[in-house]
Structure 1
Amino acid sequence: MVNGLRLPPELRERVEEIRAGRLSPVAPRDAATVVVLRDHDRHGLQAFLLRRVASMAFAPGAYVFPGGSVDPRDGEAALAWSGPPPEEWGRAFKAGETLARELVCAAVRETFEETLVLLAGPTGSTVVDDTRGDEWEADRQALLDRSLSFARFLDRRGLVLRADLLRPWAHWITPAIEPKRYDTRFFVAGMPDGQRARDVSTEADQVAWVRPAEAVERARAGEWFLMPPTLATLDELSAYETVADVLAAPREIVVHEPQAEIIDGDAYLVLPEGTERHYPQG
């Protein structure tokens, strides 16, 4: 029994080329993703997912968490910051202080760009309670086209980044066989009171609040496409009952990078040690 996922036959040649050293893997881009969570009166703990449009070059049709690549300007030190300092995030994710700052800012920025959920407030102990309206949408578009940096956006609105609302959760690197690769740190955060997550991303055609266990069941039944990091994260979160439980959970961040192998003539994505229970064996 192979501890891995069978890959399409057309990927076998790429696996062989990379393993033989005839093809160099693409360097992964630093990225951040946020699992936005809420407590529902009837359904309990739920996570927010977006389904990527079928035309996307990376993971088309997959249900994913909000997130994306780091913008170099995310490392600007001038922005107002509340919560664990960058060096503490760096220790959690085994990253330098500048990259750690970029990752936290990218996590908050990307979540706002894709859902209008903003983990920032007028003070270090408050949070914006409403991000609806034309002015907020104009700022979101300016962030998307990079005509406005995240630090400038916060400064102009007199807002403080609430790093204390985030927690580090996981670290996954896209397999070397993929033409687009990301070195992604996963964060978790509770949905701020008064805000609403919306379907505003042009990269998604559907969104859903779902119990982590239900999302895992749908994926294993073939109803939803979840990439390994998403499936593993949701499977882990299914063990918790409330947002508070998740945020209080101790985490030791381990880097996971699935490896492609040729086994008995077929190409497989071999899963990182310790993640076996998240997937059916094949």
Structure 2
Amino acid sequence: MTTSPIPATPAEVPIRKAASVLLLREAAAGFEVFVQHRVNTMDFAAGMVVYPGGRVDLQDGQAADEAEMDPAVLSDHVQRWAHTSVLAEGRERAPHLAGEVLFAARREVFEETGLLLDPGQLHPWANWVTPAGFPRRFDTYFFVAALRAGQEPIHQTTEAVISKWTSPEALFAALERGEVKMMRPTQRTLLDAMELGSIEQIMSSKPVISPVHPNPEDSQSSHPVRDSERQPRG
């Protein structure tokens, strides 16, 4: 008798840590954000507008353990991620887990844009967890980073057809017209930044970050977020 493998239930899909970075620069009116338009053949977020980012790898934990980081920066990240899975293994392991998502964010930005950020430029912003029922699940840590003079990201990833600077207003206008697609986490993290108005206010804000577990039907929707659908920050 032959048997077939029992398909995994949604609860058995492993949740991988990931990092995503909103790269910001000053503009004549407010700020601009660096985005990537992913190719349509990707197995995750195909055709979507996203920020530079990707999965946390073993090398990120190693980098965090070996790097000489400013203790104040790492301590701030541990505190900001206090309500997320960074604290899941206890206070003693928290600096390592906070460090690995930080270095994953730094590595992904470098690989996809050629830009090497200082760890101190990356500020915790939000945490979204893919709900059960999807073939791939991510515990994604979003960061914001204000770029300095001379720091200029470029398009150098095969996962996207184009990378470019855009104003949030222009991006959402294109979304409303159906010209681009953006998943809920991408939309809401940018809307939160827009509410603050300026890079100075964004970088100085320290909101309480709690994991967002969206409705499965809403999680990967690319329809524009309406005011009535907004989720308040913690």
**Residue 164 in 1 paired to residue 113 in 2?**
no
1:23/1:211 Cα in 2 relative to 1: closer, same or farther (>3 Å)?
A: closer
- Can you list the C-alpha shifts for 1:9-48, whole angstroms capped at 9, x where unaligned? xxxxxxxxx9xx95535121011111000002x3430000
C-alpha separation in 1, matches of 2:40 and 2:74: 36
1:176/1:189 Cα in 2 relative to 1: closer, same or farther (>3 Å)?
A: same
For the residue of structure 2 that corresponds to 1:239, the secondary structure is: helix
**Residue 187 in 1 paired to residue 143 in 2?**
yes
**Residue 91 in 1 paired to residue 40 in 2?**
no
AA of the residue aligned to 1:24: A
1:66/1:223 Cα in 2 relative to 1: closer, same or farther (>3 Å)?
A: same
Q: Give the equivalent residue in structure 2 for 1:68.
A: 54
Q: What is the CA RMSD across the aligned residues, in angstroms?
A: 2.4
State the identity as a percent.
Answer: 33
Q: CA deviation at 1:83?
A: 6.1
Please, which runs of 5 or more residues in structure 1 have no aligned partner?
1-17, 120-161, 261-267
For the residue of structure 2 that corresponds to 1:103, the secondary structure is: helix
Q: Give the equivalent residue in structure 1 for 2:89.
A: none
C-alpha separation in 2, matches of 1:278 and 1:192: 36
AA of the residue aligned to 1:107: A
Q: Give the equivalent residue in structure 1 for 2:218.
A: 269
- Can you list the C-alpha shifts for 1:94-128, whole angstroms capped at 9, x where unaligned? 31221111011111111111111111xxxxxxxxx
Q: Give the equivalent residue in structure 2 for 1:27.
A: 14
Structure that is richer in strand per residue: 1
For the residue of structure 2 that corresponds to 1:84, the secondary structure is: helix
Please, which of 11, 25, 36 is the counterpart of residue 38 of structure 1? 25
1:23/1:113 Cα in 2 relative to 1: closer, same or farther (>3 Å)?
A: closer
8 Å CA contact retained: 2:21, 2:52: yes
Please, which runs of 5 or more residues in structure 2 have no aligned partner?
1-6, 87-93
TM-score, structure 2 length as denominator? 0.80
For the residue of structure 1 that corresponds to 2:26, the secondary structure is: strand
Please, which of 127, 132, 137 is the counterpart of residue 176 of structure 1? 132
1:112/1:83 Cα in 2 relative to 1: closer, same or farther (>3 Å)?
A: farther
TM-score, structure 1 length as denominator? 0.67
8 Å CA contact retained: 2:11, 2:133: no
